[in-house]
């Protein structure tokens, strides 16, 4: 069995160092800031017994989209290779550079926005190489670690990790979703005064949503669809699948549906985690919870 290699890259400020540390905690041999030209030499020695995580900094002199593509092709002759691309909105990168008073490495004598633009343009082709993408714009370091554990942590069940997320359509689709489902057709607890201040984790709210005559059929048909789709995604080599369920406010219907479907997928043997974006925004971010 070939060794697994995860190449971690992305713009400055997106969290590469945090990601490398998280992968090391997950059992990877981790090396950060590795020049591309030196990476193949790592395979000249003894057979690796652990998966390998390499942080590739776009500032290195031999880094380019072409060299990155050539490296991936070379490594795939001797290893199973994934490219993990950490992305982040320009406004968030600007805020991070401002808070830390750092100069951007690609515009040390100019405004950080200049360097962010240059780096984004350079990295666009590299992003296309990546099957694994994580938008860190709204993630704390702890949440990034949890997301990587979902995607790349060891599993005794299936090889693909699944994350389910509830959200509000008022705030738009979460970044990085592979699939999105609209559950605004279910009856809305918002219009019941005693349920309005609660959320979909509350049994009373969940019972109200489940009382919709279309609810049971929807859940059953969705799970039947998942039993077709999920093995197909896994067999195509996908290691992580992100699925969103949205409603108007992201507090009631979508939360209930995510919880019910998460339990059903876990019962089928999938490694599942959940996140409720709008509930998290009401207070400190909740920890990701593994359900299988």
pLDDT at 290: 35
**What is the bridge-based pairing of β-strands 271-276 and 289-290?**
antiparallel
pLDDT at 287: 39
Tell me the domain boundaries of the chain.
Answer: 3-152, 161-290
pLDDT (0 to 100) of residue 36: 92
pLDDT at 131: 85
- Of the candidate CATH numbers 3.40.50.80, 3.90.600.10, 3.40.50.300, 3.90.700.10, the domain formed by 3-152 belongs to 3.40.50.300
How many C-beta atoms surround the C-beta of residue 188 within 10 A?
19
Low-confidence residues of the chain: pLDDT under 50: 156-158, 284-292
* Nearest in space to 41 (alpha carbons), one of 7, 71, 86, 21: 71
Task: For the chain, give the number of residues.
Answer: 292
Strands (DSSP E) found in 88-160:
132-135
What does the pLDDT look like over 20-66, one tens digit per residue? 998 988 889 999 988 899 999 888 877 788 899 999 988 887 888 99
Beta-strand runs (E) in 109-178? 132-135, 161-168
Q: How is the beta sheet containing 52-55 ordered, strand by strand? A: 29-31, 52-55, 3-9, 79-87, 132-135
Identify the helix (H) or strand (E) that includes residue 70: helix 65-75
Residue 191 DSSP class: G
Q: Six-digit token pair at 229? A: 């789709």
How far apart CA 47 and CA 204 sit, in angstroms, is 56
User: What is the rounded distance in angstroms from the CA atom of residue 181 to the CA atom of residue 226?
Assistant: 12
Q: What are phi and psi of 239, to 5 degrees?
A: -100, -15
Q: Closest Cα to residue 247, out of 175, 177, 188, 174?
A: 188
Cα–Cα distance, 255 to 251 (Å, whole number): 6
pTM of the model: 0.60
CA 130 to chain centre: 12
User: What tokens were used for 135?
Assistant: 């938008």
Distance CA(277)–CA(255), nearest Å, equals: 9
């Amino acid at each position: 069995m070939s060794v697994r290699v995860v190449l971690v890259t992305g713009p400055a400020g997106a969290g590469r160092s945090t990601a490398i540390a998280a992968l090391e905690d997950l059992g990877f041999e981790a090396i950060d800031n590795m020049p591309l030209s030196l990476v193949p030499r790592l395979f000249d020695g003894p057979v690796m017994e652990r998966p390998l995580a390499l942080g590739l900094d776009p500032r290195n002199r031999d880094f380019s989209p072409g060299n990155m593509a050539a490296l991936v092709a070379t490594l795939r002759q001797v290893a199973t290779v994934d490219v993990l691309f950490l992305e982040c909105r320009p406004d968030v990168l600007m805020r991070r550079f401002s808070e830390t008073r750092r100069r951007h490495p690609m515009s040390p004598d100019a405004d950080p926005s200049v360097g962010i633009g240059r780096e984004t343009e350079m990295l666009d082709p590299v992003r296309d190489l990546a099957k694994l993408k994580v938008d860190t714009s709204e993630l704390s370091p702890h949440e990034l670690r949890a997301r990587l554990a979902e995607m790349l942590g060891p599993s005794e069940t299936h090889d693909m990790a699944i994350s389910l997320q509830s959200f509000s359509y008022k705030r738009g689709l979460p970044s990085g979703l592979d699939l999105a489902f609209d559950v605004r057709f279910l009856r809305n607890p918002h219009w019941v005064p005693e349920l309005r201040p609660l959320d979909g984790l509350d049994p009373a709210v969940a019972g109200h949503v489940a009382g919709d005559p279309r609810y049971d059929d929807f859940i059953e048909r969705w799970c039947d669809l998942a039993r077709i789709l999920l093995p197909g995604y896994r067999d195509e080599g996908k290691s992580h699948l992100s699925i969103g369920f949205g409603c108007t406010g992201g507090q009631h219907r979508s939360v209930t549906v995510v919880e019910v479907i998460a339990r059903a997928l876990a019962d089928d043997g999938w490694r599942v985690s959940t996140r409720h974006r709008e509930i998290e925004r009401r207070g400190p971010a909740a920890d990701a919870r593994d359900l299988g």
